[in-house]
Amino acid sequence: AQKITQTQPGMFVQEKEAVTLDCTYDTSDPSYGLFWYKQPSSGEMIFLIYQGSYDQQNATEGRYSLNFQKARKSANLVISASQLGDSAMYFCAMREGNTGKLIFGQGTTLQVKP
Amino acid sequence: EAGVAQSPRYKIIEKRQSVAFWCNPISGHATLYWYQQILGQGPKLLIQFQNNGVVDDSQLPKDRFSAERLKGVDSTLKIQPAKLEDSAVYLCASSLYPGAKGQGNSPLHFGNGTRLTVT
């Protein structure tokens, strides 16, 4: 069964606007963590933001914020004030308990238009 | 701090040949991971090491893939013999031990990967 689902293969956003990238997950473990990574065309995986299952508030890191809706099992990434350099592939990932490994979704390609 | 180092950056081989990839994790990171990323897909875990012991190799095709992490630092991933479907980017990552107190949020730090093409 797919544990992490990203239903948007590709997204476009106008420069300086905000964009939301969707992610839903499935787990029966009450302790888990959700991560978002950015992968530019150069290929490196860049860690963006983390949300723990017990965190009371939504995570924020600069222009990145995570819209965490636990009951819906969704962890959407919001990028505010998009920049041309935000054009990349974005992956949502989950860690169950303290296993260490991350399970990744299929990714969403974001293109920022000038 | 220095990041995760991987080599080679690119490799082209013919099917049925063998190939090896090398990874040096961030200093102090006890946990090391090898992921396979096929074009257009998310990374898939092949094997996870804790120090020099294997934690998870459930998705490693053991008839052709092998990996080791001698002395709990560097790691090598080998494919022998390679198949066309092994064409992918092989990513190495490391992290602090996530089971340690306060480290559950420890992200994986990735290397730049090795792009393998099997012809």
Q: Is B97 near chain A, with CB under 8 Å?
A: yes
What pLDDT shows up at residue A99?
Answer: 80
Q: Is B55 near chain A, with CB under 8 Å?
A: yes
Query: Smallest Cβ distance to B105: which of A50, A91, A103?
Result: A50
Q: Are B51 and B61 in contact (CB under 8 A)?
A: no
What pLDDT shows up at residue B52?
Answer: 85
| Number of separate helices (H) and strands (E) present in chain B | 0, 11
What pLDDT shows up at residue A96?
Answer: 86
Q: Indicate which of B37, B38, B39, B97 best probes the interface with A, i.e. most A CBs within 10 Å of its own CB.
A: B37
Contact criterion met (CB < 8 Å) for B98 and A99: yes
Model confidence over B26-84: pLDDT tens digits?
Answer: 999 999 999 999 999 999 999 999 988 999 999 999 999 999 998 889 999 999 999 99
CA atoms within 13 A of residue B22's CA, in its CB half-sphere: 6
Distance from CA of B19 to the nearest CA of A (A): 21
d(CA A110, CA A38): 10
**What burial letters (b/e) apply to B7-29, b meaning 16+ CB within 10 Å?**
eeeebebeeeeebebebbbbeeb
B108 chain-A contacts, CB cut-off 8 A: 35, 45, 47, 102
pLDDT (average), residues A27-39: 94
Residues 6+ apart with CB under 8 A from B99: A98, A100
Residues 6+ apart with CB under 8 A from B80: B18, B19, B64, B66
What pLDDT shows up at residue A58?
Answer: 96
Q: Is the confidence at residue B100, as pLDDT, over 60?
A: no
Structure tokens at A63: 């222009």
Residues 6+ apart with CB under 8 A from A71: none
What pLDDT shows up at residue A16?
Answer: 97
Residues 6+ apart with CB under 8 A from A102: A35, A93, A94, A95, B45, B108
What pLDDT shows up at residue B115?
Answer: 97
Residue B7 amino acid letter? S
Give SS3 for B84: helix
d(CA B85, CA B72): 30
